[in-house]
């Protein structure tokens, strides 16, 4: 209500001011500061203390008001002026204790706007950030660069430091081409200035080379990289060489090093016949120049060899070994090549002139042909030059050696298997060369040999066809050409024979160790015996090779198998093919001797591991006990000690009702014997508990108690929740004739437990008895109190006297029958107890009491009334 009334008063004042009903006030005493981004300030001075000063907008809205202190004659009022542009306000002054107002209208300026930038320098760099330098600023001025006069995007911005009048802004790239940006300034306490347009130049390109630039040198090397050298450069200049005017494929590039003015570029891509290269230069902070071309020359060609400098001799020369080619008039390092014609690229022969020579001799087994002149072609390749033209050289024909005759007894061809075949030729003389071919014309050389000095025969090692065929032989006598080819046939490779009548075979089929096959009698050095699993297929089971001093071989095989069977053997004689496979039977692995049941004793223990004892064994025999005649599981196993014949060990388990076990043995090198059946007797059951000897107390909030009588010391008593439960609830060992067991909780209701006993009687432990069911009652609730009296002896307390208790009874007192608040509790130390109950008045009242007897639930809550306090007579 007060605020509403105050609002009405303000409205009245505003009306008075706007109508000009107030007295005039000198506007020169008013200063208005129209701030940017913060509250504006109206300062009024020259007024009396304790006056009320108010500021209004032209529309009559109160902008601010303050009351001066007792000593102040001026005041600052913070307001929010209605507009950022220029305007007017009305200021009123009301003196203390007066009702009249004095008023003045005061104009105020617009919020200040920053000056537009005038000194802007833009540098459009290459390969580094561009810069915008703005000068003649004020400290803390914010300079912003835009992409457009209105809108656009902010390109970059930066603030002038406190002690500076300029700022340098950097940005990634303005662009390769020229353009414009718009720059504004925002000074502290002022609006951002209008954007001013500033142009910038395009990035500078380097000046390209001229077509006849003398700073470029190209060396078109032969068999090495070409060299491009560029001089008159500046450190940091990057030179790039291209294959043509527009391709991006580079021949190479290089950067001019510090303190240098030259770069050298090596490339393997220059052409033999010369061509143009295209170059660009890129200087620091400049774009690469346009490409300019430079024409380079073709590679130099070596001179031709003059015919009168060439001498050719056939093998009829005195040395009688090779044809020779002698050339003089050369230079050291010249490469001489010999071709069979003027077109082929295949070189017959080549050589290099020695460093201290001007001639060279080349030799080859045959230049000339029989009865036919031959033309050869020779070229030279001089250092740093291309190969020269080929010059024709002619050689006279030579006489051929006499051929072999087809039935020549001096020629023996042996077709071996598994090793090299041979051609043996006798009746020759020193220097004769015999060559073997695989065809009568063309084909290929399959072997060759030359008669050694002082010899008269040769042996050629070669590979021949398994099924037989032909080989063609030639001979070359010293000083003559190679003879024509003569055919010699050879037989198929011989097959080895496994002689079952003369070869003895002994097969041992071991148990737990590798099996062996031994072959002896009539085998020789290098014979190979192989064993197979089948007659026609299958892999090799094993093999062995007869040594030079041996007369038998033994093949070791991992396992042939438990049962009898057949292996298939072959023999391969040196130089012959493998024989046919011959079957050889072998026996199955032998079993160990069976165990006699009369030599076995099984003891079916109770509460201890069953045992087995076996007699009549051998040292190292392994005995295994099973629970079934076949398959089943292993109950136990053991190994007979050295020098012993008996073993005894524990079994994992036996049936309480008796049954049979199955016993085997495994002797060294033999299989396991058959299983011998050995019966064993049942465990003796203990006499069951009599239900009448069991007493069960089903307690509440404490462990239940089960007492069993008429037991013997060391009897094991177990209590189960059902006839089929696998785990007992509790168990104990009797120390005398009575045993007391405790169970966590049998349950709040009535039920049944099942009790067993495991007795030690007649000198042995009997098995657990059958389960005896014993019923138990539900947990009991404590009786309510029947003997409670009160003694209201004072105005603030009441004594409660409770009797008929049990020691340990817990008495609880509650605020009401619902037990909302527990007022207190106490535990009885005897049959009676006295409790004192504090009260707020001397009037009568009620108390609500329960009893909790040990092992029982809390009784019901009973309400007891007590009388009002009666003061004693005066």
**For 294, phi and psi rounded to 5 degrees?**
-140, 125
**pLDDT recorded at residue 331:** 92
**pLDDT recorded at residue 2:** 28
What's the token pair of residue 438?
Answer: 């695989």
Give me the DSSP letters along 699-737.
-SSS-EEEEE-S--TTPEEEEESSSS-SS-SEEEE-SSS
**pLDDT recorded at residue 224:** 82
Q: Which residues pair with 394 in a beta bridge?
A: 375
**pLDDT recorded at residue 20:** 35
d(CA 237, CA 105): 73
Give me the DSSP letters along 45-108.
-S--TT-EEEEEETTS-EEEEEE--SS-S-EEEEE--S-SS-EEEEEEEE-TT----EEEEEEE
d(CA 336, CA 353): 8
**pLDDT recorded at residue 366:** 62
Considering all CA atoms of the chain, what is the largest pairwise distance in Å, rounded to the nearest integer? 178
**pLDDT recorded at residue 16:** 33
- Sequence-ordered alpha helix ranges (H) in 590-743: none
| Neighbour-count burial of 656, counting CB atoms closer than 10 A to its CB (0-12 exposed, 13-18 middle, 19+ buried) | middle
**pLDDT recorded at residue 500:** 86
What's the token pair of residue 194?
Answer: 């209008």
**pLDDT recorded at residue 396:** 66
**pLDDT recorded at residue 370:** 52
Say if residues 650 and 661 touch (Cβ distance below 8 Å): no
**pLDDT recorded at residue 683:** 82
Q: Which helix (H) or strand (E) holds 146?
A: strand 142-146
What's the token pair of residue 483?
Answer: 């003879």
Burial 276-285 (b: 16+ CB within 10 A, else e): ebbbbbbbee
Task: For strands 23-24 and 102-108, give the pairing.
Answer: parallel
Say if residues 495 and 579 touch (Cβ distance below 8 Å): yes
Q: Which helix (H) or strand (E) holds 223?
A: none
d(CA 627, CA 245): 96
Distance of alpha carbon 62 from the chain centroid? 74
Which mean pLDDT values do the consecutive 10-residue runs of the chain (874 residues) have? 28 33 70 91 93 91 92 94 90 88 90 92 90 94 93 92 93 89 93 93 86 82 86 92 89 92 90 87 88 87 88 57 82 91 86 93 68 78 88 75 88 92 94 94 93 94 93 86 90 91 90 89 90 90 91 91 91 91 91 93 85 94 95 95 94 89 91 93 87 94 94 92 93 94 91 92 80 93 86 74 90 86 87 77 77 91 79 63
E strand segments, 744-804: 751-758, 760-761, 764-765, 772-776, 788-791, 797-802
pTM, whole model, 2 decimals? 0.37
**pLDDT recorded at residue 365:** 64
**pLDDT recorded at residue 77:** 95
**pLDDT recorded at residue 314:** 65
CA dihedral of 347, 348, 352, 358, whole degrees rounded to 10: -120
d(CA 381, CA 365): 24
**For 28, phi and psi rounded to 5 degrees?**
-70, -15
**For 665, phi and psi rounded to 5 degrees?**
-135, 155
d(CA 679, CA 661): 6
**pLDDT recorded at residue 841:** 57
**pLDDT recorded at residue 3:** 29
d(CA 125, CA 131): 8
């Amino acid at each position: 209500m007060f605020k509403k009334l105050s609002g009405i008063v303000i409205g009245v004042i505003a009306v008075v001011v706007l109508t000009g009903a107030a007295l005039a006030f000198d506007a020169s005493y008013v200063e208005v500061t129209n701030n940017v981004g913060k509250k504006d300030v109206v300062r009024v001075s020259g007024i009396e203390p304790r006056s009320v000063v108010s500021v209004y907008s032209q529309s009559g809205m109160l902008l601010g008001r303050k009351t001066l202190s007792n000593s102040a004659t001026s005041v600052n009022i913070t307001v929010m002026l209605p507009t950022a542009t220029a305007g007017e306000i009305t200021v009123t002054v009301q003196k203390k204790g007066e009702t009249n107002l004095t008023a003045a209208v005061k104009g105020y300026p617009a919020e200040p706007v920053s000056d537009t930038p005038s000194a802007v320098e833009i540098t459009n760099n290459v390969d580094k950030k561009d810069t915008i330098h703005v000068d003649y600023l004020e400290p803390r001025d914010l300079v912003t660069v835009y992409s457009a006069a209105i809108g656009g995007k902010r390109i970059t911005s930066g603030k002038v430091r406190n002690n500076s009048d300029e700022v340098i802004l950097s940005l990634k790239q303005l662009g390769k081409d020229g353009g414009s940006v718009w720059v504004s300034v925002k000074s502290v306490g002022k609006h951002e200035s209008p954007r001013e347009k500033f142009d910038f130049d395009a990035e500078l390109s380097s000046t390209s080379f001229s077509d006849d630039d003398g700073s470029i040198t190209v060396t078109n090397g032969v068999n090495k990289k070409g060299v491009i050298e560029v001089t008159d450069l500046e450190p940091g200049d990057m030179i790039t060489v291209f294959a043509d005017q527009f391709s991006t494929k580079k021949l190479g590039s290089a950067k001019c090093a510090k303190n240098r003015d030259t770069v050298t570029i090596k490339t393997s891509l220059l052409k033999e016949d010369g061509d143009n290269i295209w170059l660009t230069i890129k200087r620091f902070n400049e774009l690469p120049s346009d490409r300019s071309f430079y024409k380079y020359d073709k590679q130099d060609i070596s001179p031709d060899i003059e015919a009168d400098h060439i001498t050719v001799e056939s093998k009829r020369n005195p040395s009688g070994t090779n044809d020779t080619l002698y050339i003089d008039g050369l230079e050291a390092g010249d490469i001489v090549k010999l071709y069979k014609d003027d077109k082929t690229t295949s070189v017959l022969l080549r050589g290099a002139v020695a460093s201290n020579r001007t001639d060279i001799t080349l030799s080859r087994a045959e230049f000339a042909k029989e009865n036919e002149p031959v033309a050869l072609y020779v070229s030279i390749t001089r250092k740093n030059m291309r190969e020269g033209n080929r010059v024709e050289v002619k050689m006279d024909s030579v006489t051929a050696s006499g051929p072999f005759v087809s039935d020549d007894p001096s020629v023996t061809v042996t077709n071996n298997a598994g090793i090299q075949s041979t051609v043996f030729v006798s009746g020759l003389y020193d220097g004769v060369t015999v060559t073997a071919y695989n065809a009568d014309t063309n084909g290929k050389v399959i072997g060759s040999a030359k008669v050694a000095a002082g010899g008269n025969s040769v042996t050629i090692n070669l590979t021949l066809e398994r099924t037989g065929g032909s080989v063609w032989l030639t001979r070359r006598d010293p000083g003559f050409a190679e003879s024509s080819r003569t055919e010699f046939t050879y037989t198929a490779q011989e097959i080895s024979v496994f002689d079952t009548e003369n070869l003895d075979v002994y097969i041992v089929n071991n148990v737990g160790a590798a099996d062996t096959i031994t072959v002896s009698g009539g085998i020789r050095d290098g014979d190979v015996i192989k064993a197979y699993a089948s007659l026609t297929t299958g892999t090799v089971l094993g093999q062995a090779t007869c040594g030079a001093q041996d007369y038998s071989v033994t093949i070791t095989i991992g396992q042939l198998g438990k049962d009898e069977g057949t292996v298939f053997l072959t023999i391969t004689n040196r130089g012959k093919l493998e024989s046919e496979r011959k079957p050889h039977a072998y026996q199955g692995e032998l079993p160990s001797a069976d165990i006699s049941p009369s030599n076995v004793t099984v003891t079916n223990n109770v509460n201890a591991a069953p045992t087995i004892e076996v007699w009549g064994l051998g040292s190292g025999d392994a005995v295994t006990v099973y629970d079934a005649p076949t398959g089943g599981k292993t109950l136990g196993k053991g190994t007979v000690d050295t020098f012993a014949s008996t073993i005894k060990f524990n079994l994992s388990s036996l049936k309480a009702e008796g049954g049979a076990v199955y016993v085997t043995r495994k002797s060294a090198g033999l299989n396991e014997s058959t299983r011998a059946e050995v019966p064993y007797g049942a465990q003796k059951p203990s006499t069951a508990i009599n239900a009448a000897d069991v007493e069960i107390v089903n307690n509440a909030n404490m462990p239940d108690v089960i007492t069993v009588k008429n037991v013997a010391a060391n009897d094991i008593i177990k209590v189960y929740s059902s006839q089929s439960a696998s785990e007992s609830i509790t168990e104990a060992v009797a120390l005398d004739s009575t045993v007391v067991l405790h169970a966590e909780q049998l349950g709040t209701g009535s039920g049944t437990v099942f009790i067993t006993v495991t007795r030690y009687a007649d000198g042995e432990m009997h098995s657990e008895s059958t389960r005896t069911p014993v019923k138990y009652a539900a947990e009991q609730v404590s009786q309510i109190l029947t003997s409670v009296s009160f003694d209201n002896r004072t105005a603030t307390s009441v004594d409660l006297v409770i009797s008929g208790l049990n020691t340990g009874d817990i008495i609880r007192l509650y605020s009401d029958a619902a037990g909302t608040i527990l007022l207190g509790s106490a535990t009885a130390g005897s049959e009676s107890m006295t409790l004192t109950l504090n009260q707020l008045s001397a009037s009568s009242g009620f108390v609500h009491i329960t009893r909790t007897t040990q092992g029982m639930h809390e009784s019901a809550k009973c309400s007891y009334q007590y009388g009002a306090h009666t003061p004693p007579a005066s």
